[in-house]
Structure 1
Amino acid sequence: MNKLRCCFIVLLSLIFLYGCVQTNILDKVGLTTLIGYDVGTEHKIATTAVIREVNPEFQSKVEVLTTENDTSKGNRMEANRKLSKKIMVGQMRVVLFGEELAKDDLRYYIDTNLENANVSNSIYMAVVEGKAAPFLKYEYKDIEDIGQHIFRLIEQNIEQEYMISATLHQIAHDYYSIGKDLAMPIVKRDGEFVKLSGVALFKGGKMVSSLPARDSFYVKIVRDTFKVGLYEAILEKEDIPPKLKHKSSDKITVAFDAIHSKRDMVLVDASKPEFDLNIQIRSRVLEVYPDINQGHRESVAALEKAIEKKLAKEITRVIAHSQKVESDIFGFGEKYRSAVRHSNLTKDKWHKMYKDMKINVKVKFVILRDGVFE
């Protein structure tokens, strides 16, 4: 009898709980997949939302709607007044920032999304060349859902390690960290296509510069490890050792995939400060043009040294650019703060130190499986 009573109480509780849950039927809501922010008129926020609506026959259409208000919540209410379906943000995958807004300050937008329980910390963030609204509203010939297209574009390039990752979680960590600045991919419209065009560098919450998409390789290899991506190095005339010189060409192009990379930052002098940056890469060479004899060990050793020299030069160039604009996207400041006790480091203090910091870049490049091509 007691057992039956307990079962009845549990069943009754479930019925009451079910009645309290707010249900969202798919054909009665609009699913926001992407939001773009721009500077609005009279200091307002211009929000462009990509919203997918599903009808009772499970056919879907995409709405791209721009509103202006003083807050992001106000923009959502304004958008709801223009649509027949309730807007939900639980399916949001990407947040884009117009270039002008990114150069102002993104703190409000980082905090707003962090505080929203319906927004996943794994959403991607990126900067748009120009404004987000016209970029999203353009009627692309072969793109049905611009929100999903941009999400998949960013996702597959991050997975293949062609571009750095910038999720809400990563951006918030770098923004609030003393000794590291945030970086994001840059997207742009290229005719009827959308492409990743570069990497945005930030000082605090403000975008201060950018690097071309090709430099994402150097950024990633200093910030993190490199495992599965493909990269192409171009050895110019001054980079080519005598053993590899061809009469028919003044450059050698080498395509390789990084099987494994490892980087080590060592603080060698806290007063300057000065760092040794040691990077080790073990890689398979996929293609060399003009061709060289990869069965000849001396030629392979000369190629390894040439690639080491080239990578060290390019990494040094990218770091020097970040120092010039005082954007430590690599986290040298975090390493400094952990190595120097009682450093009392602040963001402003580190930015000034970072500008004059000395970095000694050394690359060790080892070719694996000589002569194996894709």
Structure 2
Amino acid sequence: MRYVRFLKTPRVVAEKSTSRNEVCCLVTITSDLGDFFLPYDIELSAELLGCAGPKEYVLVWKTVQWTGGMRSLSIAIPLSKTQQSWAGLRVRVGAGPKRTHDDYASLSEQDARGVVSAWSATFAPNVEAQKLVERRFKPPQGPISGIWEETGESIARHLWDAGIALSCHLVELTNKNTELSKALLPPVVSSPLRVLELGTGCGMVGITLAQTIADARVTLTDLPEAREIVQRNIDTASRAKGASLVFQELDWDTEIPLQLQKSLKHLALVVAADCTYNPDSSPALVNTLSRLAKMSSGVIIAVAMKMRHSSEEIFFDLMAAAGFQETSKIMFPLPGDEEIGEEIVYLHVYKYATCS
């Protein structure tokens, strides 16, 4: 997949040589890590939205052209005096005009190029948009999920391919006969279902679980620098009936805090997405998974990953050495530049050997 990113967030500026104003921003289209640019041409829709409470209205829209070989694209949208009176303005940039969300399945269509749209934070004539971007996904048969991420360089506060792919398939858990349900849910699902996510980043996977499973108790964990963006997404997230969401700090290089241990009794599921890209962190990740498995007998471990380089294979060796057995492996083909499946996310499901 590719992502529209704001290199410069939207702001209102005066047009040169005129008294009129316009909204300007600078975008790029890259991979989740930002290491590859979209090498193909694509026509994008750039839209100025007026915000009235939770509702948004398209005030102006225009098409802009991304050309293969580009590294950035400057966008300017005219702003009338009437439009300046709106209390809040936003900019959306993405494939297809006047869309309120990205349909995950539609990202695989050839003209879409797997490009994920970007919605800016609100701004006003004298207030530049925060360095944030909202993604809005609609999985098959599931509700629209809006998740904020940062526009900066911190990889801890960005959305990644594996987390999005897994999240957009979690609606399958509502049908006990799907492959995903059989892999992730225990034969007898207790209520409440207790779930912990490691390396949550922006929180998308754990939040989607809480939106999908009634009475789920979902704990999102990561390093302290992730707290602000995760809490923003928790605060704006809907929940299934009786479900709860909470964030707690967890460093894989330290023991699990006592406060967190107390909340993890009868843990049924541990999930992690995009957490194996750095092989140097794999020993700490596996040690943490081992501690959790010993604390909660029978817990299911699910790790979603897009293999980026062969050094990540150390994770599988460490899991085997720690006594974990793979019980299932599910494939999620990703929307690609030209066709679906150019890259693949795999969900590896484990149980601790003594719990099988």
TM-score by length of 1: 0.32
Larger helix fraction of residues = 1
